[in-house]
Amino acid sequence: MDIEAEIRALQLDSAEDGTGMAIPEDAKPEEVEMTDKVEEVEMPDKVEEEGTKDEVDTKSQPAQDEPKVKDKEVAPLEDAEGTDEMESQKKRHLNVVFIGHVDAGKSTTGGQILFLSGQVDDRTIQKYEKEAKDKSRESWYMAYIMDTNEEERVKGKTVEVGRAHFETETTRFTILDAPGHKSYVPNMISGASQADVGVLVISARKGEFETGYERGGQTREHVQLAKTLGVTKLLVVVNKMDDHTVNWSKERYDEIESKMIPFLRSSGYNVKKDVLFLPISGLVGANMKTRVDKSTCPWWNGPCLFEALDSIEVPLRDPKGPFRMPIIDKFKDMGTVVMGKVESGSICEGDSLLVMPNKAQVKVIAVYCDENKVRRAGPGENLRVRLSGIEEEDIMEGFVLTSVVKAIPAVTEFTAQLQILELLENAIFTAGYKAVLHIHSVVEECEIVELLQQIDPKTRKPMKKKVLFVKNGAVVVCRVQVNSLICIEKFSDFPQLGRFTLRTEGKTVAVGKVTDLPSSSTA
């Protein structure tokens, strides 16, 4: 194909000139031929010298299976090999959730990351500094980058899950800034259920770590929830190391680490493989983009936060599996737009899909990833999808966008294996127990209909005796019933759509996984 050959030459040329642009990964070669034929006729051989060069360049990237993952502002590529590399290997994508006790510095750390990675300019920062000073809260200005609404700024508390994007050399990250206050744990659950990696922010300030870590503190609850919700890797950042009560003290850092390790182990984390501790200061940005200066902290020889995030492996995802995207939000914008994270499969413009459980057939009009329009996207991406064939009011949070073939089952009852964490005082976990079920983006009241068998925690085998009720710490298999149809999967088939938590009166009482679905489930 001489058209393709010519385009290829153009790409290499423009990369050598240092004028390579961000190349959308989604344009198909056939399209290129169609769109460029007209230009090709009129363009002389010296097309490199003309302004249209970049236009051709941007259209000429062959399609690949993975999602389009490039942001608009991209540094010019240095040489021809850079272009080839771009084509063969796109930036990997990770979802990172910031969790931890209220006031540990999650939003400030998130804001500092965006500032250091060039997503926020100095002028905006100066505006936030002035705004925070006017509220007599000078140290809050970095948090304003993540906490955008007025209520959050006045109180200094995150309420909703903040979202933002930033990039390092090798990876694109979506930051999910979860609220730390116990009143907003349901919002934190929805944030953590979309994440691959957790950053647990702990305040090293005297008294603050202790408050978060004690019974009833959010540090504990967040860790247990993150593990249940499938956050397998955890970075534990010890924040506020620059505070005058800490002054980068190794003793304080070691004390926090020694208290956290046994707790993380008991929550199910493999501390050697899946957990990394590091000291930072979110407010001044120490040990975040570059390693902390030896004059400030002589004892730290480990990585900085950006290096640690870059070294995390991307979880395995199946781009060819049946499509699953739990809906976390919806709105009207020239049609019905739904938001969510793709848990399995890929989505293309023009696809025919189903919205379950109401079995509405829809067509994909447009797909947006990180504010950019793309033709296709794969698993792990946070998307906004514009649909036709359904009204916005017919969609609820917790519905699932699914492929027509192998659609997701919709059930009102399922069998689950539960671990009881901590029941409310005087409560007995037995048939008839009611709680609120959180599973992917579904929040639904449920009732335990029947306890089937208790599992011995040591041997992991079912006990013989019939079980009527269980206490804290027990592992039990039971039947759970909900009032309306919900879309879930067996944990063994789709872990992200088969793990859940039970909460009641603001406390997490149990965590579990779906082991079986009724055979008559409407799929």
Using one digit for the tens of pLDDT, what is the confidence trace for 224-266? 888 877 788 899 999 999 988 889 999 999 999 999 999 898 8
Angle at 508 between CA 267 and CA 519, to 5 degrees: 90
Give the span between the Cα atoms of 203 and 209, in whole angstroms.
Answer: 5
pLDDT greater than 60 at residue 38: no
| Adjacent-strand bridge partners of 94 | 173
Average pLDDT rounded to a whole number, residues 452-469: 85
Across the chain, mean pLDDT equals: 79
Per-residue model confidence (pLDDT) at position 4 = 62
pLDDT greater than 70 at residue 194: yes
Per-residue model confidence (pLDDT) at position 51 = 42
Q: Which residue has the tokens 């067509």?
A: 363
Phi, psi values for residue 148, rounded to 5°: -95, -25
Per-residue model confidence (pLDDT) at position 21 = 45
Average pLDDT rounded to a whole number, residues 107-136: 84
Q: Pairing relation of β-strands 197-203 and 233-239? A: parallel
pLDDT in tens, 7-19: 665 555 544 444 4
Q: Look up residue 141 and give its two tokens.
A: 């200005």
Closest CA to 203 of 228, 174, 238: 238
Per-residue model confidence (pLDDT) at position 134 = 82
Average pLDDT rounded to a whole number, residues 275-300: 90
Minimum mean pLDDT range among 127-131, 334-338, 489-493: 127-131
pLDDT greater than 50 at residue 28: no
Per-residue model confidence (pLDDT) at position 7 = 60
| Cα 293 to the center of its chain, rounded Å | 31
pLDDT greater than 80 at residue 491: yes
Query: Omega before 357 cis (within 30°)?
Result: yes
Q: Would you tell me the crossing angle of helices 52-59 and 2-16 to the nearest 10 degrees?
A: 110
Higher pLDDT, 445 or 128: 445
pLDDT in tens, 334-364: 889 998 889 889 999 988 999 988 888 999 9
Is the full-model pTM beyond 0.85?
no
Give the span between the Cα atoms of 476 and 433, in whole angstroms.
Answer: 13
Give the span between the Cα atoms of 157 and 177, in whole angstroms.
Answer: 11
Per-residue model confidence (pLDDT) at position 222 = 86
| Cα 523 to the center of its chain, rounded Å | 27
Higher pLDDT, 103 or 413: 413
